[in-house]
Structure 1
Amino acid sequence: MKKNSDLLGIESISKLLVKQAVPASIGILVMSLNMIVDTIFVGRWIGPLAISAITVVIPVTFFIAAIGLAVGIGGSSVLSRALGSGDNDKALRVFGNQITLTFLTSGVLAVLGLIFQDFLIEFFGADESFKDLALTYYRIVLYGIVMLAMCMMGNNVIRAEGKPKFAMYAMLLPAIGNIFMDYILIYVFDFGMEGAAWATFTSYAICFTFIFWFFVAKSELRLVTECFKLKKKIVNEISALSFVTLARQGTIAVLTILLNNVLIIYGDAIDVATYGIISRMLMFALFPVIGVNQGFLPIAGYNYGANKFERVRESINTSIKYSGILALGIFIVIMVFAPNFVSIFISGREGQDAETLANNAELLKRTPNALRWVFAATPVIVIQLIGASYFQAIGKAIPALLLSLTKQGFFLIPLVLILPSFFGVWGVWISFPIADVLSTVVTGYFLHRAVKKELKE
């Protein structure tokens, strides 16, 4: 009897990509909507400075959660190729080691994050105007961050098994739970930042419960105790590929810290809130492109492991075509409707104090043009995303790492350090499209060369 994973090497690439990408896209959409609604509730019911507070907390929670994402994506590349070659015993051991690595690493980082919370919040860019709000949110969210890391890892394993619908459910259920709890705790009970934080904690618990149920009741991967014991060879193989994602996510965390501090130096807390809105819009608006990229990974990895190189080539071309069309549509919508998107985050309630009203007006004035600049090169980014993911899917850790770091690490961080000294806050926003174009040129060159040399029957 054929397993779900076998279909990755049989069905048409277009059909597989739709089957993998649509659930991934829906899951990412709901997860990003969760972040958007969370920010809307905080901005409208607490104030713009609360958005600034959440923005400076994101780097540490993002990085710890990235441990699970990195082990999930890197380990699932190994797992996909093991399933493709018929080595089920290795697949089980890889998954068991993924669980152990994620739990231990994220647990240690969570404890350290709580011990050094005051230092970290200031280091991440909080000033006195919103530091207390940031600490309130940070402490509660960090209590549940290990659950989030485990969820990020497990979600990628579910996709590697060829069951993307369950991966979608794993993102859908906690997002709905978070939105519901936000409404209850912030609006109904008026718990402010504590309410926002406990709503987020609850969403982590819901996701963890669902993924635990999946691997007990629905998964093809039936683990025994021996699988959880770390094996040096498997850990090294997972780590080599996980480091790609971890370096990319870690670079994003460093970039966020840098942006928060640069925006405080050349601007103020409202500029930090502007970036908080933009960062959520990036994930929300690009959800279908990211979904295609997520769907591409197991297809390319499985077929590469099965030596079906023509199918790997087809998966690259089809993924770029589909995601390119989607990216162009996203670009047009953002350019036209930027002010409409920003206005959603701003309260229209009567009875607000003068400072909050002034902050709302400034946020609405500054953010739309900043949003347009950040999205200015959206149509070309698909080549960079698919190109970097290809090398990760086939187990080429070093090229995957370097290409994953091209935008944020090699181009965007230096530009953010240099341009604001000449152009102020505007220099931050124009750094994004410049980095997008440069990283796409570099990645496109290496992807083209690799396909010509490596993907031969």
Structure 2
Amino acid sequence: MTQEQETKVASAAAGAPAAPASAAPQGAPGKSGAAGQHNRVTRMGTESIPRLITEFAIPSILGMLVNGAYNVIDSIFLGQAMGEIGLSTATVAMPIMTVFMAIAMLVGNGGNALAALRMGEGKPEEAERSLGNTVTLSLIFSVIVAIIVFVPACLDALLDISGATPEDWGYATQFIRIISLGFIFQCIGMGVNNFIRTAGAPNRALGTMIIGAVACTAFNALFVLVMGMGVAGSALATVCGQAISCATVLWYFCMTKGVPMRLHLHKMPLHAETVRLILSLGLASFAVQIGMAAVNFVLNNLLNAYGAQSTIGAEGALASIGVVQRVASFVVLPLIGMAIAIQPLLGFNYGAHLFNRVKKTLAWGIAGATVIAVVLWALVHLFADPIVGFFGITDPDLKSFTVFALSVQLFLIPFVGFQIVGSNYFQATGQPAKSVFLSLTRQILFLIPLYIGLPMVMPMWFPGYTGLDALYFACPVADFLAIFTTAIFVLLELKRLKKLETGELQAKF
């Protein structure tokens, strides 16, 4: 790194040539504490990239696994306590819960991406405004969600397109309503948690997630297994875990001394331009989750139709593919964790115009995600049978079907890490339109048409397979198409970064 670049990094994080001690964040423990927090941010533009990625990735990946554990924990306890009806209820609720997560990521990931860019540009006040507006947006969306869910016609419509059957309709209604009342805890506990990483404290971010997941597990055991509260107990346990995680996140930004970003009341009133940027930068994450929700909506209805024609029946199909979806989502979470981990590094260095470090960060992020994906792919294929059994599926035919479906659906997982990191890169560097498009390719442009069309033609091409079988074969085909599309975008972006390095282009965000 040249002396000019080092000066740029230092001035970017400081936001001023020589900030006085009084400019330290409120509650900072004096000059040395402020300097320590300052260094935690500036090092994103100076330290070894592999070391930084490792430091940020480990807690980020573990955090995503912990966050994703909420759905898996619910499914395991409901499956063990209620059997197939419990698993099918969780499957029906899953797309609606995915919509909730989409909203949380819209404001959380968008606000965090903006904060990282502003820190890299040397505008810490604007980063704090992004934090404050993110919390306010979380509050507003939480109220809207609760109102919608408690309007019977709205919830009935959601359950109808989620593929709810008469057997699990009442259970799913109860589950979703309880979850919606605690949505504010999810929105802040998961979304605002990302700001802690940008503040240079990835281990603290992980800690806030672990506390919530451990509490969720403990409350599930108490409410579902000990007290026999069933679906209501599982939903209440999830809300309790999220509430505890939310409290620890707010404590960090309100009470912890010397943090580089602080949550101030005067930064919470909505600022039009800040809100616009938060929502535009978060649109890619939102699109991914909404795409997943749309896929689940379509898939659940197709499972009802094709499952009824098979020997395992509609409830069996919902339970089986529901398990496959949860395992697949859990496997993808570490890859998303890697993408989230490098987001502040990409954003800071892009904002500071350190484009060579941006390219290196992207390359190392892709390599790390690929290694993780290969390991997870091997583990799932080696232990598919016990994994399926852990969810409470005991019927031999249903178990055999689920194990095979799991192996097929995760066939191309070793290459999916590249697609996730590649599409997230554009979000981190202030190019939301490209990120949104790439995020939608797999879910909307490829997977849904394949879900609808493949069951119509596959039984004719391969008579040994049914329409139900075609539903899980659609996933690796969609993965291949999405990976190929992302590769084209990444190659073009590398050429653009080369021009930015030489000064032929000017960065705009």
TM interval, shorter chain, is over 0.9
Q: Which residue is equivalent to 1:370? A: 405
How do 1:318-397 residues align onto structure 2 when only pairs under 5 Å count?
318-346=364-392, 360-397=395-432
Q: CA deviation at 1:233?
A: 1.4
What is the match of residue 80 of structure 1? 116
The answer on whether the counterparts of 1:57 and 1:124 sit within 8 Å (CA) in structure 2 is yes
Partner of 1:438: 481
Q: CA RMSD in A?
A: 1.6
Q: Residue 185 of structure 2 aligns with which residue?
A: 147
Paired position in structure 2 for 1:416: 451
User: For residue 426 of structure 1, what is the aligned residue in structure 2?
Assistant: 469
User: Quick check: 1:94–1:234 contact (8 Å CA) kept in 2?
Assistant: yes
Structure 1 residue ranges (4+ consecutive) displaced by more than 4 angstroms after TM superposition: none
Which one of 165, 170, 173 corresponds to residue 208 of structure 2?
170
> In the TM superposition, what is the alpha-carbon distance from 1:122 to its structure 2 partner?
2.1
Name 2:59's counterpart in structure 1: 23
CA-CA distance at 1:76 after TM superposition: 1.3
Q: 122-131 or 254-263, which moves further after superposition?
A: 122-131
Bigger Cα displacement from structure 2, 370-379 vs 35-44 = 35-44
1:291 to 327, 334, 337: 337
Give the unaligned 5+ runs of structure 2: 1-34, 308-313, 459-466, 502-509
Confirm whether residue 246 of structure 1 aligns to residue 246 of structure 2: no
Measured in 1, the distance between the counterparts of 2:187 and 2:159 equals 21
Q: Does the CA-based 8 Å contact 1:67-1:106 persist in structure 2? A: no
Q: C-alpha displacement at 1:103, in angstroms?
A: 1.4
Please say if 1:66 is aligned against 2:112: no
Give the alignment's TM-score, normalised by structure 1: 0.94
Q: How does 1:101-250 map to 2 (within 5 A)?
A: 101-115=137-151, 116-218=154-256, 219-250=259-290
Where does residue 73 of structure 2 map in the other structure?
37
Counterparts of 1:241 and 1:85, CA distance in 2? 16
1:97-133, Cα deviation, whole Å (9 max, x unpaired): 1111221123212211221223322221101122122
Given the alignment of the two structures, is residue 303 of structure 1 paired with residue 349 of structure 2, yes or no?
yes
Structure number with higher relative contact order (C-alpha < 8 Å, ≥ 6 residues apart): 1
Preserved contact between residue 99 and residue 290 of structure 2 (Cα < 8 Å): yes
State the 1:62 CA deviation.
2.1
% identical aligned pairs: 30
Compared with structure 1, are the counterparts of its residues 223 and 181 closer, same or farther at alpha carbon in structure 2 (3 Å cutoff)? closer
Asked if the contact 2:254/2:263 (under 8 Å) is kept, the reply is: no
Report if the CA contact (8 A) 2:366-2:422 is conserved: no
SS of 2:353 mapped into structure 1: coil
Please list every run of 5 or more consecutive structure 1 residues that lacks an aligned counterpart in the other structure: 348-356
Taking the aligned partners of 1:65 and 1:440, their CA distance within structure 2 comes to 24
1:170·1:210 contact (CA, 8 Å) conserved in 2? yes
- Between the aligned partners of 1:166 and 1:317, the Cα distance in structure 2 is 26
Shift in Å, 1:279: 2.0
Q: Residues 389-417 of structure 1: CA distance to partner in whole angstroms, max 9, x if unpaired?
A: 11111000111110111111110111111
Cα deviation digits, residues 252-281 of structure 1 (max 9, x gap): 111111111111011112111122212221
Q: TM-score with structure 2 length normalisation?
A: 0.85
Q: Distance in 2 between matches of 1:15 and 1:420?
A: 47
Equivalent residue, structure 1, for 2:87: 51
Q: Secondary structure at the match of 2:383?
A: helix
Q: SS of the residue aligned with 1:395?
A: coil
Q: Look up the equivalent residue of 1:420 and give its one-letter code.
A: P
Per-residue Cα deviation, 1:157-182 (whole angstroms, up to 9, x for no partner)? 11221211121112111110111111
* 1:345-373 C-alpha deviation (Å, 9 max, x unpaired): 126xxxxxxxxx7xx44431320011011
